[in-house]
Amino acid sequence: MDLQNHLYAVALKIDLTLKKLLPSEKTKPKTIHKAIQYSVFAGGKRLRPILTLAAAEACGGRSEDALWAGCAVECIHTYSLIHDDLPCMDDDDLRRGRPTNHKVFGEGIAVLAGDALNTIAFEILAQGPSTSRYPHAAQILELARAAGSRWLIAGQVMDIEGEGKKTTPSELQFIHQAKTAALLTSAIRLGAMSANASPAKLNALTEFGQSLGLAFQIIDDILDVTQSTEKLGKTAGKDVSAVKATYPALFGLQRSRKIAHTLTTKAQASLKTFGKKGELLRALADSMLAREY
């Protein structure tokens, strides 16, 4: 498989589905829907929904049945980025190589665009297919927990409160697990749910997602230090300037890379039960470890 061509094709499928599911820019009030479209179609890699579809296929399901869940997760992810860029949070003017939502539409509309995407996510998920093991209620509960005050939001809170303070390794690990790994794991679990996966397969993919998500955020921390703003598409060096809790700050670059590599190996080991059907997920894990932006 040519991984890059495959990822491009899947991302295009996800984009086309999002275009169908999201309100168009002509929908009243136009301003909010333009703001939503601006951030959703800003050139994201669609990593989370790609993992959703790959997990479905690994469990013997159809990628088409996982599209709703994948798009719902992407809406949650995009909302979190819009809010994360706000002056009251990380205060960034650049995202994916262009001005952040609040720089274009103002802070009020940016807040509301994020709020809207948060609710649209569950509207999309509720309209997608369900299975005997995982009815709509189970899927909605899955995403709500990952995006709620104990995980995604918890991670953001602790990230803010940890600025300029000494953070222990266990606290740092929880921040990364909450603000990044939880939603990424949920994306994978929802893909498995769309395929009516057995509890054993769902557990294996949960372990895969947790290790992969933590490795992904560690690589993000490393790239913030080692790459340029032009390469990243967002302001580089912000973690250092804000004195944020990161793996490079606590462990140094070399050890951080080793930790990310160990976590990726652990994630791939979780896929043993899937045999050849897990090859795409293994390849995605390698790709995420080696990424440069």
Range 202-228 average pLDDT? 95
Helices 63-84 and 182-194: crossing angle, nearest 10°? 160
pLDDT at 211 over 70: yes
Question: Tell me, what's the pLDDT at 241?
Answer: 64
pLDDT at 232 over 80: no
Question: Tell me, what's the pLDDT at 276?
Answer: 96
Are 96 and 234 in contact by the 8 Å Cβ rule? The answer is: yes
pLDDT at 163 over 90: no
The number of residues in the chain equals 293
The percent of residues in the chain predicted with pLDDT above 90, rounded, is 88
What DSSP string describes 82-104?
A: HHHTSTTTT--SEETTEE-HHHH
Q: What is the DSSP letter of 23?
A: P
Range 51-68 average pLDDT? 97
Domains of the chain: 3-290 (1.10.600.10)
The percent of residues in the chain predicted with pLDDT above 70, rounded, is 98
Q: Over the stretch 123-149, which tens digit does the pLDDT of each residue have?
A: 999 999 999 999 999 999 999 999 999
Range 178-199 average pLDDT? 98
pLDDT at 236 over 80: no
Locate 5 and state its tokens: 């061509």
Tell me whether residue 76 is exposed, middle or buried, using C-beta atoms within 10 angstroms of its C-beta: 0 to 12, 13 to 18, 19 or more: buried
